[in-house]
Structure 1
Amino acid sequence: MSMYTRQHYGNFTLLKRLCSSNYLDRKTSDLYRQLYAKILACGPITLAEYMKEILTHPTVGYYTTKDTIGQRGDFTTSPEISQLFGEIIAVWIINEWRKITKESIQLVELGPGRGTLISDILRVFKKLNVLDKISVHLVEVSPVLSMIQAKKLCIESKNSELKVNENQKNSVTHYREGVTKDGVKIYWYYSINDVPREFSIFIAQEFFDALPIHKFQKTDKGWREILVDIIQEVKQEKFRYVLSQMPTAACKVYLSPNEKREHVEVSPQCSIIIDYMSQFLWECGGFALVIDYGHEGEKTDTFRAFYQHKLHDPLLNPGTADLTADVDFSLMKEIAEKDNRLITFGPVTQRKFLKSLGIDLRLKMILQNATNVQKQQIESGYHMITDEDKMGNCFQVLSFFPFVLKDHLKKWPVAGFENQG
């Protein structure tokens, strides 16, 4: 037991009480009991560890054990709200793809939710006769969501036995595979690192905002990390924030010496994924589109939770609510542009991106054959994803392309980002 724990708790009395059947009511959740016991034994944990346990614990995690998206869940996404969103993204993909190559592509989505975005994209691809040139690759850690995706997208699917050989071509890195009614092959992976290294188009819509973050606070004694601690008098399933007594290793590793803000949030996992994706695109070709809550290095305290579509205390009843934090697009751009691997365009608002790609024209087209009830639903969804006081401005869009295409894309600007770059 650490010195901090000895000073804070005195001895093992609390731990023994916790282990007794009567200390924590049997009705308390398994996740809360596990976190409580861990903190009690080892001291406060980082917010990154707290988020990781809550969201992706293999047996009791928020994402791994339930369908959390839609009206019956805790949050919804643009693809779930309006088919217009996925259709416009599909047109953008084809437009940029055809500027670069006519060869086949891998369409990769990180965190595909219920599979709605990919479903809408495939519908547009079918109408434009390009289905024979794609395969779909989904990076999904949730067994529950992967089953929902397979049911929505495939006429048949099966689990795959992971197998990695020295000969990479014979490796099986996907854990599930299926085929759509139109013959498109779909593969599922636990990590972006497992996706075959070929020309790929990456889509990440509301993916990075759910990755674990570290939180830091500047004090009169210097930087301290914000940690999660127990509340000893157990009256409800709730934790509390505390400051580290000394600068943690994370303070030294993740904070810039030129940082001007008083409060900072950093997601190491986000940085790692962007770095890997950047190297992937530089070596194998392709491009990427990221759509998420975000900022350009100016925001501070954005960590929050949503329960039944309303803001919720992130430290109350862990595992019952979605946890999220705004994405630092400036850090993404810095990582991607390092060593001239990629060039970036954006971020621009979701409203500007969708409108510049013709969503208003598409809206008029589908309203022509809609019933009055359908018109109300379609228009309501359109306003939700584009209006400035709804999703239109709070979501940002960022794209990545290999640096070698810099001059080419000056001649043929990336749609939706014409005044960027």
Structure 2
Amino acid sequence: MSFVPQIYRKILSLRQNLLRKVYSVNKNVDQDQNYLARRIFQKIEIKGPITVADYMKEVLTNPAAGYYMHRDVFGEAGDFITSPEISQIFGEMIAVWLINEWQKMGSPKPFQIIEMGPGRGTLASDILKVFNHFKLNQTTLHLVEVSPHLSEIQAKRLCGHSTFVKEQETPYRHGTAKEGVEVNWHKQLCDVPKGFSLFIAHEFFDALPIHKFQKTNMGYKEVLIDIDIGTDISNKSEHPKLRYVLARNPTPIQHSVINSNEKRDHLEVSPESMLLYRDICERIKNDGGLALICDYGHDGTGTDTFRAFRKHKQVDPLEYPGSSDLTADVDFNAIKQMASQVEGVLTFGPITQREFLLKTGLDVRVQRLKQTITDQKQLDNITECYKSLTDTDKMGERFKFFALIPETMKPILDVYPVVGFSEK
């Protein structure tokens, strides 16, 4: 019998924050809104058109004005809202899943939790609360976060006290969570120590740089970004404009990322993601653990998915660089291919967020909560959260879940399938 029902019975005693409170975005950097556009213009003037990957990297993580580097972009006051920010029920379900699968592996200790792109630290906080409830504190939390500003927000949420070391050192920040768990911040995954690990990547891979390719009668051409015709970069009062162009000749990355049997008219490839997939698979194979990836995505059929969001609305990715979030759907088939290359790692999914949450018992959790609450406003909040997380026209269908587990677990999983991903 699965351990999940026992967890649900015990978890009812946890204090709830059913509908998240959002707070205003505090912009710490006040500068020319065209700063990044002009920087990109200068780069194009010197080197010629740039790849979409270079554009994304500059726009999202430029140290001086990158989208993620100096602001809080989450919540109703930001540009988008994530599932953990809607209700802590989401984080509880993730924590329950992690505990359940960890126990199937023999409950190895010590172990570490690694979250990649932890946002405000909301999901990590909710997971630690559940682990603490079950006295599973023989762990360390490692957060892979490139933004010093977001790391500060995460530290305030997670820790009573934390220390910023130096950006060139790793960990560059460390502290102790309110639950007594050691927390460390790293710029990249390769800086995180090896060991039995529970990986979580929620809306992380969709923000990693992609290369875009368009099929033409002369084969695939890479889509590049160039200065729009007629733009006068010397006129600082003019809003800089960019445009898409096709590369005249094959680009250096092209031959190494496009399969010979590729048939799509338009495709997007993220080499940086591929390297991380390999690292995660090798760690799981060699050191033990598992990974849960939750993101926008497709199973190798996606085409033109590159887009931008500002104030919860889709906008032109080339307008006002640095003022909106850039994203592209995750290719889950690429993760399967990497797991196959590494060997020794099983893959599960992708399945929809709705399917995952319902199969892991969200209905049971919500119904039991409603039985303990009499305040109508709180009841309405629970219903609102539930719909946001599971409705097909909201987050229920948009987000996909994908899991990686060591192949050595197959005999056990044949008897006790991975919760959420099986037909049972």
Change (3 A) 1:93 1:216: same
The alignment partner of 2:402 has SS state of: strand
Whole-Å separation in 2 of the counterparts to 1:390 and 1:100: 34
The alignment partner of 1:257 has SS state of: coil
Q: CA deviation at 1:101?
A: 2.4
Match of 1:239 among 239, 242, 254: 242
Whole-Å separation in 2 of the counterparts to 1:188 and 1:210: 19
The alignment partner of 1:198 has SS state of: coil
**TM-score when scaled to structure 1?**
0.89
CA contact (8 A) 1:47 1:227 kept: yes
Match of 1:84 among 89, 100, 119: 89
**Can you list the C-alpha shifts for 1:260-293, whole angstroms capped at 9, x where unaligned?**
1010100111101000111111111100000000
Does structure 1 residue 114 correspond to structure 2 residue 120?
Answer: yes
Whole-Å separation in 2 of the counterparts to 1:330 and 1:63: 27
Q: CA deviation at 1:104?
A: 2.2
**Can you list the C-alpha shifts for 1:340-399, whole angstroms capped at 9, x where unaligned?**
231111111110100011101111222222521122222111111111111111111000
The code of the aligned residue for 1:128 comes to F
Whole-Å separation in 2 of the counterparts to 1:115 and 1:152: 7
Does structure 1 residue 283 correspond to structure 2 residue 280?
Answer: no
**Can you list the C-alpha shifts for 1:206-252, whole angstroms capped at 9, x where unaligned?**
00000000000011111100000012424423210000011212221
Change (3 A) 1:105 1:27: closer
Match of 2:398 among 390, 394, 414: 394
Change (3 A) 1:28 1:95: closer
Whole-Å separation in 2 of the counterparts to 1:255 and 1:415: 34
Change (3 A) 1:47 1:176: same
Q: CA deviation at 1:33?
A: 1.1
CA contact (8 A) 2:121 2:157 kept: yes
Q: CA deviation at 1:32?
A: 1.1
Whole-Å separation in 1 of the counterparts to 2:398 and 2:101: 25
Whole-Å separation in 2 of the counterparts to 1:405 and 1:338: 18
Query: Once structures 1 and 2 are overlaid, which stretch shifts more, 316-325 or 179-188?
Result: 179-188
Counterpart in the other structure of 2:383:
379
Match of 1:191 among 180, 188, 199: 188
**Can you list the C-alpha shifts for 1:282-332, whole angstroms capped at 9, x where unaligned?**
111100000000001111000000000000000000000000000000011
Query: Once structures 1 and 2 are overlaid, which stretch shifts more, 153-162 or 219-228?
Result: 153-162
CA contact (8 A) 1:237 1:318 kept: no
Counterpart in the other structure of 1:140:
145
Whole-Å separation in 2 of the counterparts to 1:238 and 1:206: 29
CA contact (8 A) 1:212 1:267 kept: yes
| Over 3 Å off, 4+ runs | none
Match of 2:164 among 156, 159, 166: 159
**Can you list the C-alpha shifts for 1:92-114, whole angstroms capped at 9, x where unaligned?**
00000011022221011000000
Counterpart in the other structure of 1:60:
65
Unaligned runs of 5+ in 2: 1-30, 233-237
Does structure 1 residue 332 correspond to structure 2 residue 335?
Answer: yes
Does structure 1 residue 219 correspond to structure 2 residue 216?
Answer: yes
Counterpart in the other structure of 1:321:
324
CA contact (8 A) 1:349 1:393 kept: yes
Q: CA deviation at 1:69?
A: 0.7
Whole-Å separation in 2 of the counterparts to 1:314 and 1:41: 22
Change (3 A) 1:417 1:52: same
The code of the aligned residue for 1:240 comes to R
Counterpart in the other structure of 1:5:
none
CA contact (8 A) 2:120 2:150 kept: yes
CA contact (8 A) 2:281 2:342 kept: no
The code of the aligned residue for 2:189 comes to I
Q: CA deviation at 1:65?
A: 1.3
Counterpart in the other structure of 1:404:
408
The alignment partner of 2:253 has SS state of: helix
The code of the aligned residue for 1:100 comes to M
CA contact (8 A) 2:117 2:143 kept: yes
Counterpart in the other structure of 1:20:
none
CA contact (8 A) 2:117 2:202 kept: yes
Unaligned runs of 5+ in 1: 1-25, 164-171
The code of the aligned residue for 2:207 comes to A
Counterpart in the other structure of 2:41:
36
